[in-house]
Amino acid sequence: MTDQGTTETQQGTQAAPLGRRWKRKMAIFLVVLIGFGAYGLYDAVDAYPKRGERFASWAEWQYLEAAQKANSEDFGIFERDASVPSPVEEFERLDDPERKRQNATDSTNAQSGRQLRATMLSTRHAWLQGLGRIGRLAPEHTTIDRPRQRLTDLQQVWSSASSNPKPLSAFDIPSQWAIMGVCWAIALVMIVHMFRVAGRKYAWDESTMTLTIPGGATISPSDLEEFDRRKWDKFLVFLKIKPGHPKVGGQEVKCDLYQRDLLEGWLLLMNEEAFGPEEDDDERPDDAKDTDKPAADTGTEG
């Protein structure tokens, strides 16, 4: 005869099913972790790169406009130097702190003889940095064969925009990969743990009041030296076995009551048979006394 999802392993013996609340809790955690990981993956491969592309396009427009204005200081610079054939080297040059400081100072100084060129270089730096954040700092993305036509095209796109796109930080995309990796790694550990717990079988023979524990050892009330409830509030019971037991003599067997339904009832029957009835059960929280409805800790078996 079976009860509450138990399976009959052999005549008169029942196997304790996985705790329903424990399974539900693990499932919720897995859904949350996998969901957060998937959201991080989406941001890393789609949402953030698209935002980075928009900023790079806008920054290119700003750069080409600045380059066109710089013609008044250095005639022909717009057509001659708009393209960046070696973007990595150029970005490293412009990213030098001293050079960035000098360009920023000159671009705001109306008395400087290189104000417009400094503005051009500052906007070039922003453009190249935007491309670098989305992995496009390569000549095929920085070579501009027809600067004036390119500027016209970008003006049509951005001149009517209601707001400027926000640039990506250096950590935006890597952090999303990290979120995905951490969440999915934890989910994998949980899945492995769930399989390990599922593989630890408990069986009960009502006729002889014997409990078969993970590993195959069989324990009867006469084998109990102590029924230790020091972590009863966390759904853990420790069975101290008498030294004479052939397999687990002298050992302490930890039983997680939250992970297995019916196990608590079986252990209480063994305890009563071995040590006599108890007067009360006040050590256990009220909401934890229902063996089929444990309420808190997932517990881990040793």
Contacts of 244 (CB under 8 A, 6+ apart): none
User: What confidence tens digit (pLDDT) does each residue in 265-282 have?
Assistant: 999 999 999 998 876 554
Say how far apart CA 209 and CA 206 lie, in whole Å: 5
Q: What predicted TM-score, i.e. pTM, was given to this entire model?
A: 0.78
Whether the per-residue pLDDT at 286 is higher than 60: the answer is no
Burial (CB < 10 A; 0-12, 13-18, 19+), residue 101, is exposed
pLDDT value of residue 139: 96
Spell out the domain ranges in the chain: 7-16+201-288, 34-175
Sheet with 218-219, side-by-side order of all strands: 7-10, 13-15, 203-205, 210-212, 218-219
pLDDT value of residue 163: 87
**Both structure tokens of 301:** 């078996």
What are φ and ψ of residue 236, in 5° steps? -120, 135
User: What confidence tens digit (pLDDT) does each residue in 51-109 have?
Assistant: 999 999 999 999 999 999 999 888 889 989 999 999 999 999 999 999 999 999 999 99
Q: Are 77 and 33 in contact (CB under 8 A)?
A: no
User: What confidence tens digit (pLDDT) does each residue in 30-39 have?
Assistant: 999 999 999 9
Q: Are 238 and 254 in contact (CB under 8 A)?
A: yes
Reference 4, options 179, 300, 248, 261; nearest CA is 261
What are φ and ψ of residue 108, in 5° steps? -105, 5
Contacts of 122 (CB under 8 A, 6+ apart): 66, 100, 103, 104, 107
N-terminal to C-terminal alpha carbon distance within the chain: 30
Q: SS3 for 132-164, per residue?
A: HHCCCCCHHHHCCCCHHHHHHHHHHHHCCCCCC
Q: Are 186 and 33 in contact (CB under 8 A)?
A: yes
User: What confidence tens digit (pLDDT) does each residue in 142-164 have?
Assistant: 999 999 999 999 999 998 888 89
Q: Which long-range contacts (CB under 8 A, 24 or more apart) does 75-80 make?
A: 77/117, 77/120, 78/147, 78/148, 79/147, 79/148
Measure Cα distances from 276 to 90, 124, 220, 229 in Å: 85, 85, 14, 15
Model confidence band, residue 294 (pLDDT cutoffs 50, 70, 90): very low
User: What confidence tens digit (pLDDT) does each residue in 184-235 have?
Assistant: 999 999 999 999 999 999 999 999 999 999 999 999 999 999 999 999 999 9
Q: SS3 for 15-61, per residue?
A: ECCECHHHHHHHHHHHHHHHHHHHHHHHHHHHHHHHHHHHHHHHHHH
Q: Are 269 and 278 in contact (CB under 8 A)?
A: no
What is the mean predicted confidence (pLDDT) over 234-252? 94
